[in-house]
Structure 1
């Protein structure tokens, strides 16, 4: 029997693998993302999440966009020093995090629906915030100083979510560590940094689809309750998991984690008109790139991959709305200390 291909005749090239993928270079993909709403240089935009979001925040600033920095660094400090202490990386000093549940936790503290614990972890006379362990590499002088710093960040975070017009959130993992003492999520595996808790006091929680969906729905709905005009951009970090705590092959663990988060993001876009998804994951992992957008370790995104993804973000805005996005500019791959010494220590200390 001859197959009837009438449906496919006259359709655009983008629906066919050959014409949309094989016949194009990885730098020449169009219509992968048609932005749902306009973002221009006047739009107040905030970024949070994984290390990848830091690169976009820097690019927004460099191109003259209105990127929100609600917790600015002291004027006398260099860029490198500021980033080492968590300034100029996210729209306030939340530090990097990988899960949607971690962002939901910060949101519940900021809107007053739950009360954050008065918890600091002590090591050799210095105090570390378990929920922002990398923003003060040498710790705080006292518990009071650490709690005051967290309170300032929560105030800044509240300002961001109430005044932003667009909030971009980048996540990468479904694996979360929960403090057994207080029941709150911490962003790193315990015992891998000075003062960062005891593994015996923390429990692994791996969220499946429904758990991630509930958190994502809660986050998007709560943001709109706080700020009715806010629009949300979701993205999935293209970098694979460096390690999994679920005692299975990291390749399958990574595939499952990304698949769950990608499916959740699609559902949010389908059901909420104020939510959009930016395909950073698809851009960097494009088969036509043949792995060239990654460093030799096959995990970290290369500078060319970072530039390609970020430049595509701005190019899509220009094509959809005629936005003046300025000229492409090189992206510094190592924008934050988390990508360097602290990440190396985390991985070396992992059991």
Structure 2
């Protein structure tokens, strides 16, 4: 939706906005290793209200920082047996990672729906994989269905109780499961491809679809959450590690983050008590040595902590 404001209001806005001009080299305005863009909070969060986080590993890092500040973070408490964790990860709540707007919308719709979750399960050699969650370890059908119920219970309770829901969008490159007629959470694992040739189709989400997914996600949260549930949307700074498009991964990643940023802005403009937190911008324009791990993919915990500390300081009631 195009935003139009009168001329006098626009000039007054730029005069009064201390962050309206791009800083010059050596400027004192944004000096420091980690740049923290200006915020415009429309709500306050209370320490006694749970914070529910939805997103990828960057969202998991936000959980940890919030937990260290004394907040109740339901997703952080989720535990999975080590033998069911993805690869060598030790991040217990990593099983909950969500990467695309479609998988986030599907998970919330499932949480408040009435299916048993079998529509997200994929049979492979040695058991079943949950296409909605982040684990490449096959389990029995009974266990896979039990985990579906665990995730449903977590989402239902957390969304109903949360004072704040933080949604971190990650990717727009998605995979469609022809057999189950839904989206995978991430790229199909080798075991899935071996068991099911040509079952999965690659998609690149366009801006309109991204906006629609993001909007429906917030609508569901508001429908099933408490009357005072606040929404914060962010875009994960973690880049696309590999693209399945014919473009350079640098170009594909820029497009991906741009589309997600547009979707986030659309949500903020549409809903009351919905704010955008510029963690993507903060990490992207800051000193790389202060923000990125050596793999240049994952964000240093110190940079995440500094962003979360600032968010809490500004948004605290």
TM-score in same-fold range (> 0.5):
yes
> Relative to structure 1, is the Cα distance of residues 194 and 263 closer, same or farther in structure 2, using a 3 angstrom cutoff?
closer
Distance 1:197 1:317 in 2: 48
- Give the match for residue 65 of structure 2: 59
1:21 is displaced (CA, Å) by 8.5
Structure 1 residues 234-258: Cα deviation after superposition (integer angstroms, max 9, x where no partner): 1100111101111211111111111
> Relative to structure 1, is the Cα distance of residues 200 and 315 closer, same or farther in structure 2, using a 3 angstrom cutoff?
same
- Give the match for residue 335 of structure 1: none
Residues 121 and 195 in structure 1, CA contact (< 8 A), matched pair in contact too:
no
Residues 231 and 274 in structure 1, CA contact (< 8 A), matched pair in contact too:
yes
Distance 2:143 2:55 in 1: 25
Residues 111 and 151 in structure 2, CA contact (< 8 A), matched pair in contact too:
no
Distance 2:76 2:288 in 1: 39
For residues 144-223 of structure 1, what are the structure 2 equivalents within 5 Å? 144-192=142-190, 198=196, 200-223=198-221
- Give the match for residue 15 of structure 1: 20
- Secondary structure of 1:17's aligned partner: coil
Provide the TM-score with structure 1 as the length reference.
0.75
- Give the match for residue 246 of structure 1: 245
- Secondary structure of 1:284's aligned partner: helix
1:180 is displaced (CA, Å) by 1.1
Residues 64 and 76 in structure 2, CA contact (< 8 A), matched pair in contact too:
no
1:51 is displaced (CA, Å) by 0.5
Count the aligned residue pairs: 302
**Alignment equivalent of 1:47, drawn from 24, 42, 53:** 53
1:55 is displaced (CA, Å) by 0.8
Provide the TM-score with structure 2 as the length reference.
0.83
- Give the match for residue 265 of structure 2: 266
For residues 54-133 of structure 1, what are the structure 2 equivalents within 5 Å? 54-69=60-75, 72-73=78-79, 84=89, 87=92, 89=93, 95-112=96-113, 116-118=117-119, 120-133=121-134
Distance 1:132 1:64 in 2: 27
Residues 178 and 185 in structure 1, CA contact (< 8 A), matched pair in contact too:
yes
1:289 is displaced (CA, Å) by 2.0
